[in-house]
Amino acid sequence: MSKELFENLSKLSTEQRNPRSMNLDTLSTEEILKLINNEDKLVPLAVEEEIPYIAQAVEVAVEAFKNGGRLIYVGAGTSGRLGILDASECPPTFGTPHEMIVGVMSGGRDAVFRAKEGSEDRADEGEQAMVDMNITDKDVVCGIAASRRTPYVVAAIKKAKELGAKTLYVTTNPRAEFDLDVDVAICPEVGPEVLAGSTRMKSGTAQKLVLNMITTTSMVRLGKIYENMMVDLQMNSQKLEERAKRVVMTVTGLEYEEAMKYLEQAGGHVKTALVMILADVDADEARARLKQANGFVREALKNGG
């Protein structure tokens, strides 16, 4: 089994040696940094090639959210941490419930902060994680694995599909080599890393870009953005309170004290405050308009206008 694994790993593009960094250990500090930076510049171009597939993933996620489903990221190591990072940033940014977008990682919570080598090989734990998450046909489960082959992730995705969920997969190995049964595969081909096999580098950057695109675009499609501003953020820290005031001030042209007054009347809800000001209505009318408009501020401003 170990020889078979060795041969499989040897074939992965992310495990190959990069011909442009063969003399990495002879370079000066600045030369190393320039080399890394030049390789990093290739990542957005690889992601750009996958936009049609990322768009499909967004459609799947939006449909799930509209039906009360969740987006569950599953990964190991760097990939798992990126899923948890993206999931954890959605509630303060978009006002989503914490259970709406969730990250699951091999090795559990402790592995987020300290690597647990070997946990990624436990396929049975990947399956069990999906059972523990009570996955249903309302949910979307997104596997994240640079190599594609991570046993924990592969098993989790297979189990999620058996439980009726839609499945996505993000890998940085070529689409031509992708052989898993998923609804949408996203395969930005970043090529060999500057440091052979260190997929926390270009592969991790590509995965971060893709996850940002999936959740941000989904939230736009759900009406959580007005113009290009966050209007469903939660005022649960001083920074976010001030950001909420700034959003209201920027959109409406009001001064600081006036923006704060409207936010207080709106119960701290930026969308409600915006509709109150821009449509010149009270808080109850603003909430009613937003409900009728499914949370879209632009539509709420048209209602009754």
Token duo for residue 181:
């049964």
The label of the residue with tokens 């409900």 reads 291
Residue 49 annotated to the active site: no
The end-to-end CA distance of the chain, in Å, is 69
Q: Inter-axis angle of helices 202-221 and 29-40, to 10 degrees?
A: 40
Catalytic residue among 15, 50, 120, 127: 120
Q: Beta 184-186 vs 140-144: how paired, if at all?
A: unpaired
**3-state SS assignment for residue 185:** strand
Whole-angstrom distance, CA of residue 162 vs CA of residue 148: 19
Token duo for residue 83:
């899923």
Token duo for residue 255:
């001064």
Q: Beta 140-144 vs 101-105: how paired, if at all?
A: unpaired
Q: Which residues contact 213 (CB under 8 A, 6 or more apart)?
A: 47, 54, 58
Residue 31 annotated to the active site: no
Catalytic residue among 59, 63, 89, 299: 89
Q: Which residues are catalytic?
A: 89, 120
